[in-house]
């Protein structure tokens, strides 16, 4: 990474990490830890709703959301193992690891997964009452990864961009098929 960008990245992380409200650490840990439970739970909820309501439309959305989840996970895993960027807490002693962190840092898998699901669900269910909480939750996940010291801002930005792209491309490529749209 270019030195100026790398310096900006770590300085921005230091600002976020050291200026956070420590009283919110437990809340941010829960938000961060909830990512897979919420994304998988939402996909399972769609399957259950499709079975209970006997709705082909919801079943098609379930399959598309399952594809979003799988593509997000595979993309994150592949990029982390190709780029191999060390976590900030391993390189900078002033960055404290306050959350669980897997292998490598780039991109933020939690952020990628959260935004992929949030964007796709926002397309399938284009009502403000669904969109706002989804985007707020995904944004909290993104912030939590930096505040808790396990990702650089560029990791989170990449997770946001790639996740949003996946969340948009899968519905577009497969035909939107959202509630209120023709499938």
Listed range (155-159, 171-175, 176-180) with the worst mean pLDDT: 176-180
CB 43 within 8 A of CB 35: no
Model pLDDT for residues 59-111, shown as the tens digit of each residue: 999 999 999 999 999 999 999 999 999 999 999 999 988 888 878 999 999 99
Give the domain range for residue 170.
28-174
Model pLDDT for residues 23-45, shown as the tens digit of each residue: 999 999 999 999 999 999 999 99
In a domain, 8, yes or no: no
| Confidence (pLDDT) at 1 | 54
| Confidence (pLDDT) at 102 | 77
Q: What is the largest CA-CA distance in the chain?
A: 56
In a domain, 10, yes or no: no
In a domain, 60, yes or no: yes
More confident: 129 or 46:
46
pLDDT confidence band for 124 (50 / 70 / 90): very high
Q: What is the CA radius of gyration of the chain?
A: 17
CB 121 within 8 A of CB 177: no
Does the structure show a pLDDT above 90 at 113? yes
pTM of the shown model: 0.91
| Confidence (pLDDT) at 2 | 66
| Confidence (pLDDT) at 21 | 93
In a domain, 165, yes or no: yes
In a domain, 98, yes or no: yes
| Confidence (pLDDT) at 6 | 77
Domain total in the chain: 1
In a domain, 52, yes or no: yes
In a domain, 20, yes or no: no
| Confidence (pLDDT) at 103 | 87
Give the chain's end-to-end CA distance (angstroms, integer). Answer: 43
| Confidence (pLDDT) at 180 | 46
In a domain, 2, yes or no: no
Provide the 8-state DSSP code for 23.
G
Other C-beta atoms lying within 10 Å of the C-beta of residue 182:
8
């Amino acid at each position: 990474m270019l030195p100026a960008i790398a310096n900006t990245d770590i300085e921005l992380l230091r600002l976020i990490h050291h200026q956070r409200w420590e009283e919110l650490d437990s809340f941010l840990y829960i938000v961060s830890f909830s990512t897979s439970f919420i994304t998988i739970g939402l996909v399972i909820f769609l399957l259950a709703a499709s079975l209970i309501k006997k709705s082909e439309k919801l079943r098609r959305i379930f399959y598309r959301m399952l594809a979003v989840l799988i593509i997000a996970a595979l993309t994150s895993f592949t990029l982390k193992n190709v780029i191999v960027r060390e976590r900030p807490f391993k390189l900078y002693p002033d960055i404290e690891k306050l959350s669980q962190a897997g292998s490598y840092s780039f991109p933020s898998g939690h952020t990628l997964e959260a935004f992929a699901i949030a964007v796709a669900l926002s397309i399938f269910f284009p009502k403000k009452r669904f969109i706002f909480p989804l985007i707020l939750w995904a944004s909290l996940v993104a912030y939590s990864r930096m505040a808790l010291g396990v990702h650089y801002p560029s990791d989170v930005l990449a997770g946001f961009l790639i996740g949003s792209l996946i969340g948009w491309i899968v519905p577009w490529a497969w035909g939107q098929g959202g509630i209120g749209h023709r499938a």
